[in-house]
């Protein structure tokens, strides 16, 4: 069993870092977005020192691969690649929507979760996960308008899209505010590691889902008129 793990996520408005060294678990968070690029590495160094584990001693480095903020995903991936190359440590890319669902399972006991993250541009990222079927389930991330989202029967929603699109999202089911956290990545790691999901730093890439980072002026005006 892997017992020395580093995990971090910078895909949303919050930065999250955690280290597990045996039974010791340390977690920290901070501002995401543009701030993450300057604070992530110092925070990682601080946590590793506090945990008493050197970077080269890690069994794996888990990071949120997306979907999410383009800048945040590039930050997480580039830092993971740099650390992995420098220390010779394998990487574990984890879907951020899966981490959101895991956070809802951990905090609220939800077993069937539709993870929903704000994708900006009047859209949301989503994926459905059924933890009752086993650990670390797989799901295909989707990009849709909030009105097009379909909540499967018996599922709760979790994520950060409620404030922006609350009335446009499905009304049924429980709602759990949640973000992808480094703690969630660490809880998911054992099953993903057992499934052989680690990759070399050269093969670690962000999961964007969307290939367009911004709307044109005409597209923003059309979207505003539609709502």
Euclidean distance between CA atoms 129 and 145, whole angstroms: 20
Name the residue among 190, 206, 207 with its Cα closest to residue 198: 190
Structure confidence by residue, pLDDT tens digits, 36-65: 888 999 999 999 999 999 999 999 999 999
Mean pLDDT is lowest, of 175-179, 192-196, 204-208, 212-216, for 212-216
Average pLDDT, the chain: 90
**What value does the mean pLDDT take over residues 114-139?**
91
Name the residue among 77, 161, 91 with its Cα closest to residue 127: 161
Query: Quick one: CA dihedral 142, 173, 166, 13, positive or negative?
Result: negative
Predicted confidence at residue 217, as pLDDT, reads 33
Q: Which domains are assigned to the chain?
A: 4-96+180-203 (3.30.420.40), 100-177 (3.30.420.40)
Q: How far is CA 141 from the centre of its chain?
A: 12
Is the pTM of the predicted complex or chain greater than 0.75?
yes
Q: Residues 161, 169: contact at Cβ < 8 Å?
A: yes
Question: Dihedral, CA atoms, 69, 128, 169, 176, nearest 10 degrees?
Answer: -80
pLDDT at 223 exceeding the cut of 80:
no
Mean pLDDT is lowest, of 1-10, 108-117, 158-167, 201-210, for 1-10
Euclidean distance between CA atoms 4 and 108, whole angstroms: 27
The confidence band for 76, taking pLDDT boundaries of 50, 70 and 90, is very high
């Amino acid at each position: 069993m892997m017992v020395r793990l580093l995990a971090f996520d910078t895909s949303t408005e919050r930065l999250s870092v955690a280290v597990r060294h045996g039974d010791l678990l340390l977690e920290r968070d901070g501002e995401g977005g543009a701030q993450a690029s300057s604070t992530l590495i110092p925070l990682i160094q601080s946590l590793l020192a506090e945990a008493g584990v050197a970077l080269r001693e890690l069994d794996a480095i888990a990071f949120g691969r997306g979907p999410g903020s383009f800048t945040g995903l590039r930050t997480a991936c580039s830092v993971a690649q740099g650390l992995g190359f420098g220390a010779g440590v394998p990487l574990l890319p984890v879907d951020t929507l899966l981490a959101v669902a895991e956070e809802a399972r951990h905090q609220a006991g939800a077993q069937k979760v539709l993870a929903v993250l704000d994708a900006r541009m009047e859209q949301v990222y989503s994926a459905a996960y059924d933890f009752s079927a086993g650990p670390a389930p797989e799901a295909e991330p989707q990009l849709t308008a909030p009105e097009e989202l379909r909540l499967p029967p018996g599922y709760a929603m979790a994520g950060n899209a409620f404030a922006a699109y609350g009335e446009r999202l499905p009304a049924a089911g429980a709602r759990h505010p949640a973000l992808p956290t480094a703690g969630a990545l660490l809880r998911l790691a054992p099953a993903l590691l057992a499934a052989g999901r680690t990759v070399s730093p050269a093969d670690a890439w962000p999961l964007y889902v969307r290939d367009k980072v911004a709307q044109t002026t005409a597209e923003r005006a059309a979207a505003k008129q539609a709502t």
